Amino acid sequence: MQARDVMVAPVVTVKPTATVQEVARQFLERQISAAPVIDDQGKLVGIVSEGDLLHRIEAGTERRRSWLLRAFTEADTLAAEYVKSHGRRVSDVMTRSVITAAVDTPLHEIATILEKNAIKRVPIMENGQLVGVVSRANLLQAVASARPLLEITPSDQAIRDRILASLRAEPWAHTGLLNVTVSDGVVDLWGLAESKAERKAIKVAAETTPGVRVVNDNMVTFSGGGWA
């Protein structure tokens, strides 16, 4: 799946000249937590979220540092925090460095972008124009709505071959120490795993192979003092 398959569109956007109060009301009315900021030329210039409105003078939640912390905080940082808590316009509080992705970006790359940059959503672009937004919630929706692949039940031999092939492609799997038997869709795992993590991963690989009904784990795991 790609970004286009799960993105929210059309996108609720705001202008950089909108007031902080207007944006706060829009968040509440539309039940959203962020909005891309678009200028009069239709260019994406930022994004504003609930986090940008967290420390505000109106709510009495502005940052309050002790005199000692203020003494060790750079003046530019203090000035930027003042603008964030007192600024009236979206342009004062928005995040300007926006991380974006293309409509054909695979979802696994979207997940990596969100995780690596510690963000909750990413605007989706096509031909330089904003066309959607993908959030963490949209990825969860993709998981929740996933349907099993429809296919003819594979033979036991085909199931065994798939399990072993998938494991041989993984750098953590020591297939030379492993044996797999399959009978009527019931998989038995035999042999040695070099760690509990590897043992668990082998079982998951078997359980997620199409056609598998049950997995019996008969493996032995190596622990510090020997095999267990």
Specify the domain boundaries for CATH 3.30.1340.30 within the chain: 156-227
Which CATH fold would you assign to the domain 3-144?
CBS-domain (3.10.580)
Could you report the per-residue pLDDT of 97-136, keeping only the tens digit for each?
999 999 999 999 999 999 999 999 999 999 999 999 999 9
pTM as predicted: 0.70
What is the topology classification, in CATH, of domain 156-227? Histidine-containing Protein; Chain: A; (3.30.1340)
- Quote the pLDDT of residue 225: 56
List pLDDT tens digits, range 126-169.
999 999 999 999 999 988 887 665 567 889 999 999 999 999 99
Q: Which of 51-60, 68-77, 117-126, 144-153 has the highest mean pLDDT?
A: 117-126
Q: Which of 155-160's residues contact partners 24+ apart within 8 Å by CB, and which partners?
A: 156/182, 156/183, 156/184, 156/185, 157/182, 158/211, 159/185, 159/187, 159/209, 159/210, 159/211, 159/212, 160/187
Q: Where in the chain is the domain with CATH 3.10.580.10?
A: 3-144
Give the C-alpha distances (Å, rounded to integers) separating 58 from 48, 53, 94, 116, 196: 17, 10, 17, 33, 53
